[in-house]
Chains A and B, each alone.
Chain A
Amino acid sequence: MAADSYDDVAKNKESIPELEVAPQDLYHAKSFWTKYIFCQDAKVIGIQYALTAAAIGMVGLVSSWLMRMQIAFPGVIPMDAAAYYQLVTMHGMIMVVYLLTALFLGGFGNFLIPLMVGARDMVFPYVNMVSYWVFFIAVLILGASYFVPGGPTGAGWTLYPPQAITSGTPGGDGLGIVLMLVSLAVFVIGFTMGGLNYVITILQARTRGMTLMRMPLTIWGILTATVLALFAFPALFVAGIMMTLDNMLGTSFFMPAIVQFGERLTYDGGSPILFQHLFWFFGHPEVYIVALPAFGIVSDLISVHARKNIFGYRMMVWAIVIIGALSFIVWAHHMYVAGMNPWFGFFFATTTLIIAVPTAIKVYNWVLTLWRGNIKLTIPMLFSIAFIITFVNGGLTGLFLGNVAVDVPLSDTYFVVAHFHMVMGIAPVLVILGSIYHWFPLITGRFLNERLGRIHFWVTFIGSYSIYFPMHYLGFMGVTRRYFEVFEGDNFTYSITGINQFITVAALITGAAQFLFFYNIIVSSKFGKKAGKNPWKACSLEWQTPDVPPTHGNFGKELPVVYRWPYDFSVPGADEDYITQDTPPSAVANAKAEQT
């Protein structure tokens, strides 16, 4: 530990620092509407976010089912190419933005931030409430695009112009693309309101004794991801506005002179590459917006369920921050084949590979946390271990794709699909599922059903490997992604048909397991086993509330005072194998905690 790691508070252990944060003036709901619908309590807003994200996520899940059916068993579900591309697009956009971003930052962020840093609520509960409802409107706008003439856009989730707004693309000449862009812009506005709240709550409203270096890694992950989002979403916002203008008013920001069906369109002189730069300036940080909260949460899960302090806490924090910073200078590795200057590729390949360093530090630290820990194979732990494995797999293929020379032949094949689904699809989703098993007792006071949970875990874990491992092979075979029909014998070996059918069956089963999970949530919230207070024996503040589930205002009369970091597990000399963050040193005088 470096000398400057301790602040004055930590040095003088028993002293309680003076109160700097004013007691918050809570809004007390008076009617049903203000209590459950336009609620200003961050916990309720978090649940609202999570439920909305899960609802639209189900649309994304069913889209992937339909896509897989078309690829493996064409004709079983009648579908034309346009419908297939619409499914691809909506699946991608829903999963990345409306499910993962909203669930991690809106859902977990809202629920956990005030509880974990020891605040009564977000700093501006009203703005927070508006943030959710703006997000809700964004989801409605997105959903509306299914019902307009021409249907939703089929431009692929990257929405590249010129094809996104030309009439050959589904939804390109209708309202589909416009609704998508407007929905994204509204999402950004809503997120900004929420995101400012998260950042300021973490930076300016912590309880006494909660230094930045005593925050759970979950909070570090969410904080960094939110900062990334606040600086990356403007690119999407501006690109969305400009493409809407291109489409609605006929401006030429992204549209070059172009001939369509033998007819010259009125566009002239725009830059399609500009859109790609803007999109990926948003799109690459977006990967880490999804991944960093997952990194943070999984660190906490592993530490709690292995009864061992997190290995290298400070390194973990700095790794999160460095990954966040680097994520802004790697975006063009998505554009190696877009016709950039090759020197650009050189630069972006270098920065991309540098990211592997802090990421590898994190993976080593997770594994070293497990090492000689008292590993309890609870469901959250199973999901955490599955996450580490999956993330390593996805990360290694990232090294392939980060190198220009290897990326060029693999670009736009199923190898890419397998890579990003492993690393930013399956890996964060495993964390989400694990953390729902972990925090469900805090939200409802009951455990999720153990047996259903174990079935859910094994089907999800083995299922997702059955889906994505063979896809790497398909990619090496040269099977292009986003193809509506893949004919065996034409360009590819006969084996791809069998592989595709195998993947589809696996996808159907894995998807069905998620519906089992939803069933589990609904039933267990009513009939699950009672959990009681702090069932996992965790140290962090969210489990130390006087009421479980925590009520409005979180901590009853007095806010807790924090004396230590959240990872004091198995401290030698202590009576219990954990010391909660709000335990004063005098209460555990014999304990020899090394870190405060």
Chain B
Amino acid sequence: MEESNQNVKVVIPEKKSFSKEWASDQKAFKGVPWGKAMMWIFLVSDTFVFSIFLISYMTVRFSTKSEWPNPSEVFGLHVGHYNVPLLLIAIMTFILITSSGTMALAVKYGYEKNRKMCGYLMLATAVFGASFVGMQAFEWTKLIMEGVRPWENPFGAPQFGSIFFMITGFHGTHVTIGVIFLVIMTRKVFRGDFDTGKRGFFTSQKSNYEAIEIMGLYWHFVDLVWVFIFAFFYLW
């Protein structure tokens, strides 16, 4: 993280033309710390990854000759005597979007230097994230028990299983990495690293509450990607 040094003045220029602002010296994005800018560009790059996954999914959905299974039925759950379509997925989506809310609040309390609230909200986000991954594991197990494999499945086109495991697996990996970092950050928050500016173990850079916001950017991105996966894979 970039240090917040008293000698440094964050110059946010008055409204100028786009090209002037961009071409001015030292910083193209005024007042944006290095880590945050880096996370944004990484997220654009990661957007390409997920877009290409989804475009590939659509392509093979058209190229395969077998019938595409109806996701509402495949992902339905039996509750009592009823078949509820997409029940689990709805819960998962709700939880993940809720976790975005807690994450946003954590960022707010972080900048207010409210260490405790920030920590609890981070922890809540991590718990939501972990339960999302847990439900995904349940979903995977259920489908594997029903005979869905990456190379075949009893419902129709073999690509259905391949795409399902690949995209949800890749997204789940993102969530898992996010949860791991959330836990690490939560520990740092409670320990007060961000208040004292303790140096990172690997990077030897000073800690700062900006890290929470950067974490938040990643987390909201993972949520947003899920919305697209939900729309294109589960609802279509």
Contact across chains for B38 and A22 when beta carbons are under 8 A apart:
no
Contact across chains for B63 and A269 when beta carbons are under 8 A apart:
yes
Chain A residues near B158: list those with CB within 8 A: 251-252, 268-269
How close is B82's CB to chain A, nearest CB, in angstroms?
Answer: 34
Q: Say whether B32 faces chain A, with CB atoms less than 8 Å apart.
A: yes
Q: Say whether B11 faces chain A, with CB atoms less than 8 Å apart.
A: yes
Closest B residue by C-beta to A230 = B45
Contact across chains for A27 and B27 when beta carbons are under 8 A apart:
no
Contact across chains for A203 and B28 when beta carbons are under 8 A apart:
yes
Contact across chains for B45 and A204 when beta carbons are under 8 A apart:
no
How close is A88's CB to chain B, nearest CB, in angstroms?
Answer: 27
Chain B residues near A242: list those with CB within 8 A: 56, 166
Chain A residues near B66: list those with CB within 8 A: 268-269
Contact across chains for B151 and A249 when beta carbons are under 8 A apart:
yes
Q: Mark A62-83, 1 if CB is under 8 A from B, else 0.
A: 0000000000000000000000
Q: Say whether B131 faces chain A, with CB atoms less than 8 Å apart.
A: no
Closest B residue by C-beta to A254 = B60
Contact across chains for A192 and B151 when beta carbons are under 8 A apart:
no
Chain B residues near A446: list those with CB within 8 A: none
Contact across chains for B45 and A205 when beta carbons are under 8 A apart:
no
CB under 8 Å from chain B, chain A span 262-297? 266, 268-271, 274, 278, 281
How close is B80's CB to chain A, nearest CB, in angstroms?
Answer: 36
Q: Say whether B150 faces chain A, with CB atoms less than 8 Å apart.
A: yes
Q: Which of A27, A203, A230 has the largest number of chain B CB atoms within 10 A?
A: A203
Closest A residue by C-beta to B170 = A241
How close is A26's CB to chain B, nearest CB, in angstroms?
Answer: 9
Chain A binder among B17-25, B120-128, B179-187, B215-223: B17-25
Pick from A196, A208, A250: contact of B41, CB under 8 Å: A196
Contact across chains for B48 and A208 when beta carbons are under 8 A apart:
no
Chain B residues near A192: list those with CB within 8 A: 42, 45
Contact across chains for B159 and A238 when beta carbons are under 8 A apart:
no
Q: Say whether A510 faces chain B, with CB atoms less than 8 Å apart.
A: no
Q: Which of B9, B22, B25, B151 has the largest number of chain A CB atoms within 10 A?
A: B25
Chain B residues near A7: list those with CB within 8 A: 20, 23-25
**Interface size of A as a range:** 35 or more
Give Cα distance in the complex from A84 to B46, angstroms: 37
Contact status of A203 and B59, CB under 8 A, knowing A20-B8, A23-B3, A249-B151:
no
Q: Say whether A182 faces chain B, with CB atoms less than 8 Å apart.
A: no
Contact status of A268 and B64, CB under 8 A, knowing A4-B17, A8-B24, A237-B49:
yes
Closest A residue by C-beta to B6 = A22
Q: Say whether B116 faces chain A, with CB atoms less than 8 Å apart.
A: no
Contact across chains for A212 and B5 when beta carbons are under 8 A apart:
no
How close is A38's CB to chain B, nearest CB, in angstroms?
Answer: 11
Q: Say whether B174 faces chain A, with CB atoms less than 8 Å apart.
A: no
Pick from A25, A207, A269: contact of B159, CB under 8 Å: A269
Pick from A200, A206, A235, A239: contact of B25, CB under 8 Å: A206
Pick from B38, B65, B162: contact of A124, CB under 8 Å: B38
Q: Which of A204, A242, A252 has the largest number of chain B CB atoms within 10 A?
A: A204
Chain A residues near B38: list those with CB within 8 A: 123-124, 196-197, 199-200
Pick from B17, B28, B37, B166: contact of A212, CB under 8 Å: B28
Q: Say whether B144 faces chain A, with CB atoms less than 8 Å apart.
A: no
Contact across chains for A20 and B45 when beta carbons are under 8 A apart:
no
CB under 8 Å from chain A, chain B span 181-198? none
Closest A residue by C-beta to B46 = A234
Q: Say whether A347 faces chain B, with CB atoms less than 8 Å apart.
A: no
Q: Say whether B34 faces chain A, with CB atoms less than 8 Å apart.
A: yes
Chain A residues near B5: list those with CB within 8 A: 22-23
Pick from B23, B151, B166, B204: contact of A211, CB under 8 Å: B23
Closest A residue by C-beta to B62 = A271
Q: Say whether A231 faces chain B, with CB atoms less than 8 Å apart.
A: yes
Chain B residues near A200: list those with CB within 8 A: 34, 37-38, 41
B: residues with CB less than 8 A from A are 2-5, 7-11, 13, 17, 19-20, 22-30, 32, 34-35, 37-38, 41-42, 44-46, 48-49, 52-53, 56, 59-60, 63-66, 150-151, 157-159, 161-162, 166, 170, 202-206
A: residues with CB less than 8 A from B are 4-5, 7-9, 17-23, 25, 27, 123-124, 126-127, 192, 196-197, 199-200, 203-214, 230-231, 233-235, 237-239, 241-242, 245, 249-253, 256-257, 266, 268-271, 274, 278, 281, 562
Residue pairs across A and B with Cβ atoms less than 8 A apart, 27 shown, are: A9-B25, A19-B9, A20-B8, A20-B26, A22-B2, A22-B5, A23-B3, A23-B5, A23-B8, A27-B203, A27-B204, A126-B202, A127-B203, A192-B42, A199-B38, A200-B38, A204-B28, A208-B25, A230-B41, A230-B44, A230-B45, A245-B150, A252-B158, A252-B162, A256-B63, A269-B64, A278-B56
> Which 8 A-B pairs give the minimum distances between C-beta atoms?
A269-B64, A251-B162, A234-B48, A271-B63, A250-B151, A126-B203, A234-B49, A203-B28
